[in-house]
Amino acid sequence: MVDADDRAMSRLDGQVAVVTGGSKGLGRATALAFAREGASIVLCARGEPELRRVEDELVATGASVLALTADLRSARDIERIAALAFHRFGQVDVLVNNASELGPTPLPYLADYPPHAFADVLAVDLVAPFRLTQAVIGDMLRRRRGVIVNISSDAAVTPYAGWGAYAISKSGIDAMTRIWAVELGDSGVRMYSLDPGDMDTAMHRAALPEDDPAALLDPATVAPVIVDLVTGAFQIPNGSRLRGPDLIAARSDRAVASSV
């Protein structure tokens, strides 16, 4: 359990963060990092048992938690997430659109891609972030503050054979982020897309089972730079596309400089 005095001095004290796909991998690590910085957490995922385990971990930090089972392919579930978040906490300060659907494995070429699977991937990876952002951004605009982080991938910019629907959805996330940032102007609301880098996650193992886990990033290493991004530790233009390894290096350089 985190001491209340420690939480009172944390960077996200009094803020509410919504994290999708929060039951494992980067979503879990990010939710825990936010909770340790004092945020209240709204967490959603499809898998009930894993979601409840992470909920217990978050509660153990002293955070207020709302954990919801939800299928982001459902517009009704997205509306429910936003409605319950506002009912419980009254505001949303941070949204991390992390939930992702890889698609069929082994990864099929586009010529062989099942159309229903293609639609599912875009529904989770692109349409759901659009809908959930729409559901919370009005509150952010009224209060002239808020941060949205859309999780992208290097597949958005590098054409890997077999990564069709996933890569297309992540390219769309990058474009949506840039356009929305321009439309937001000087509203006080920030939006970024973040390619976290190759991480040791269940999704990566499903896509590339031959990769050595030791060569991959631990999601717990990436999550602190998302906290830094959200709290304004980096001076980065709104709408930027960022890479996790670059932010990790910048964070390390800053720590070294401050110790000198």
Q: What is the pLDDT of residue 1?
A: 44
Q: What angle do CA 142, 43, 232 make, to 5 degrees?
A: 50
- Active-site residue, selected from the candidate residues 40, 152, 153, 193: 152
* Catalytic choice (166, 169, 192, 193): 166
Q: Is 152 marked active-site?
A: yes
Of 80, 85, 88, 28, the closest CA to residue 58 belongs to: 28
> What is residue 9's predicted lDDT score, i.e. its pLDDT?
56
Instruction: Say what the pLDDT of residue 233 is.
Output: 92
Q: Is 170 a catalytic residue?
A: yes
In angstroms, rounded to a whole number, what is the distance separating the alpha carbons of residues 166 and 203? Answer: 11
Report yes or no: 132 and 81 within 8 Å, Cβ to Cβ.
yes
- Give the type of residue at 55: E
Select which of 23, 24, 170, 192 is catalytic: 170
Q: What is the pLDDT of residue 216?
A: 76
All domains of the chain in start order, with CATH: 4-255 (3.40.50.720)
How many other CB atoms are found less than 10 A from the CB of residue 144? 10
Q: What is the pLDDT along the chain (260 residues), one digit of tens a residue?
A: 444 444 445 899 999 999 999 999 999 999 999 999 999 999 999 999 999 999 999 999 999 999 999 999 999 999 999 999 999 999 999 999 999 999 999 999 999 999 999 999 999 999 999 999 999 999 999 999 999 999 999 999 999 999 999 999 999 999 999 999 999 999 999 999 999 988 767 776 777 777 777 777 788 999 999 999 999 999 899 999 999 999 999 988 776 455 54
